[in-house]
């Protein structure tokens, strides 16, 4: 028996990092997906096949595994332990989301793996998939705000506020229906980053200057309130300016670098606004670019950068 599920990657339009500290963020799922297929085996092992390599360990072992395999092993052990008749599991990951560049590859893997593995046993609701995928993500990134897994589960565009006192989705997340036709360019700095390290860096910034950090959280909240209005009015020019304003806050908490700044300024002449998306310190930027200027991107960014135009995914996690 096989169970396959896929989940989309994501971009953060507004509010990354501040969301970890309780402010709201706006995220969108994108049309790049990860597909996970799970099946029972008779090998008494958990086997994980991914483009990062293959792992095979005995069931219920307390083996120390490489960080990228931890969520899969956690999910497999958890589900096997409540279904004693299972003799082994094989999990295969197939992804078109670039890894470690802020596009939600690891969250999409956690969400798709949760839906795929659980599908061998019983159908879970989206909310159950989300809660379990956040538990799995916490094996590699304990401080996660849960925002990435949430948008990978539900798809579309969402407002998200972390609230650990309530069931994750219903009380803290709102779908944004009016997803007007955004022309978003995603450009990859080709510098891999660690979300965990960037979040720790921001924690240090906060410890060193609680007062300024709190002001920045207030500014981010105000900005996002304005963004909601701007989006309702389909005002792309104002939206671009808000993105650039958000970038200033990200610069101040020191998650930017020269490469990202150069990319942003090289796109200035054609973009309505641009910013880091995700943890920063590398990874990707997003820019709002008019259609007629898309053919200028390559010359402006240079040959060593990858870029593509993002479409918003409306589907979220699906069993296939």
Count of residues touching ligand MEV (by CB under 6 A) = 14
Minimum distance, C-beta of residue 37 to ligand MEV, in the bound complex (Å) = 25
Residue closest to ligand MEV (Cβ):
145
Confirm or reject binding of residue 34 to ligand MEV (CB under 6 A): no
Distances (CA, A) of 126 to 15, 51, 247: 24, 27, 32
Residue 86: partners with Cβ closer than 8 Å, 6 or more residues away = 40, 59, 79, 80
Confirm or reject binding of residue 147 to ligand MEV (CB under 6 A): yes
Site string for ligand MEV, 101-140 (x = CB under 6 A): -x--------------------------------------
Minimum distance, C-beta of residue 34 to ligand MEV, in the bound complex (Å) = 15
Concatenating the DSSP letter of every residue in 274-319 gives EEEESS-SSSEEEEEE-GGGGGGHHHHH-TT-EEEEE-B----SEE
Query: Using the rule CB under 6 A, which residue among 148, 159, 220, 313 binds ligand MEV?
Result: 148
Minimum distance, C-beta of residue 50 to ligand MEV, in the bound complex (Å) = 20
Residues in the chain: 320
Residue 181 DSSP symbol: -
In whole angstroms, give the CA distance from residue 70 to residue 77: 11
In the sheet that holds 184-188, the strands lie side by side as 271-277, 284-289, 184-188, 306-310
CB 109 within 8 A of CB 129: no
Of residues 184-213, those binding ligand MEV (CB under 6 A): 195, 199
Minimum distance, C-beta of residue 7 to ligand MEV, in the bound complex (Å) = 15
Strand pairing partners for 99?
Answer: none
Confirm or reject binding of residue 283 to ligand MEV (CB under 6 A): no
- Kindly report the backbone phi and psi dihedral angles of residue 110, in degrees, each rounded to the nearest multiple of 5, phi listed first: -65, -40
Query: Using the rule CB under 6 A, which residue among 5, 13, 19, 272 binds ligand MEV?
Result: 19
**Residue 316: left if φ>0, alpha if ψ -120 to 50, beta else—which one?**
left
SS3 of residue 141 by DSSP: coil
Confirm or reject binding of residue 313 to ligand MEV (CB under 6 A): no
Q: State which residue, 89 or 132, has the beta carbon closest to ligand MEV.
A: 132
Confirm or reject binding of residue 16 to ligand MEV (CB under 6 A): yes
Minimum distance, C-beta of residue 81 to ligand MEV, in the bound complex (Å) = 27
**Binding residues vs ligand MEV (CB under 6 A):** 12, 16-17, 19-20, 102, 144-145, 147-148, 195, 199, 278-279
């Amino acid at each position: 028996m096989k169970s396959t599920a896929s989940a989309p990657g994501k971009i953060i339009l507004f509010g990354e990092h501040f969301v970890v500290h309780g402010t709201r963020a706006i995220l969108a799922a994108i049309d790049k997906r990860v597909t996970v297929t799970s099946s029972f085996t008779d090998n008494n092992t958990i086997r994980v096949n991914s483009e990062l390599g293959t792992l095979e360990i005995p069931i219920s072992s307390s083996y120390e595994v490489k960080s990228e395999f931890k969520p899969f092993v956690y999910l497999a052990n958890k589900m096997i332990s409540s279904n004693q008749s299972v003799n082994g599991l094989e999990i295969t990951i197939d992804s078109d989301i670039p890894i470690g560049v802020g596009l939600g590859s690891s969250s999409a893997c956690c969400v798709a793996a949760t839906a795929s593995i659980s599908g061998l046993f019983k159908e879970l609701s989206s909310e159950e998939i989300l809660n379990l995928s956040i538990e799995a993500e916490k094996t590699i990134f304990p401080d996660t705000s849960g925002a990435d897994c949430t948008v990978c589960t539900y798809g579309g565009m969402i407002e998200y506020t972390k609230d650990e006192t309530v069931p994750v989705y219903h009380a803290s997340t709102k779908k944004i229906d009016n997803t007007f036709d955004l022309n978003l360019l995603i450009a990859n700095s080709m510098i891999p980053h660690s979300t965990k390290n960037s979040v720790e860096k921001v924690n240090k910034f906060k410890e060193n200057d609680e007062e300024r950090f709190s002001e920045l959280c207030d500014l981010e909240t105000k900005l996002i309130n304005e963004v909601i209005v701007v989006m309702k009015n389909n005002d792309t020019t104002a939206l671009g300016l808000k993105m650039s304003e958000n970038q200033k806050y990200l610069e101040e908490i020191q998650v930017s670098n020269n490469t990202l700044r150069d990319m942003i300024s090289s796109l200035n002449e054609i973009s309505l606004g641009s910013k880091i998306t995700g943890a920063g310190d590398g990874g990707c930027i997003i820019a709002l670019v008019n259609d007629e200027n898309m053919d200028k991107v390559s010359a402006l960014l240079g040959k060593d950068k990858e870029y593509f135009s993002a479409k918003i995914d409306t589907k979220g996690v699906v069993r296939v």
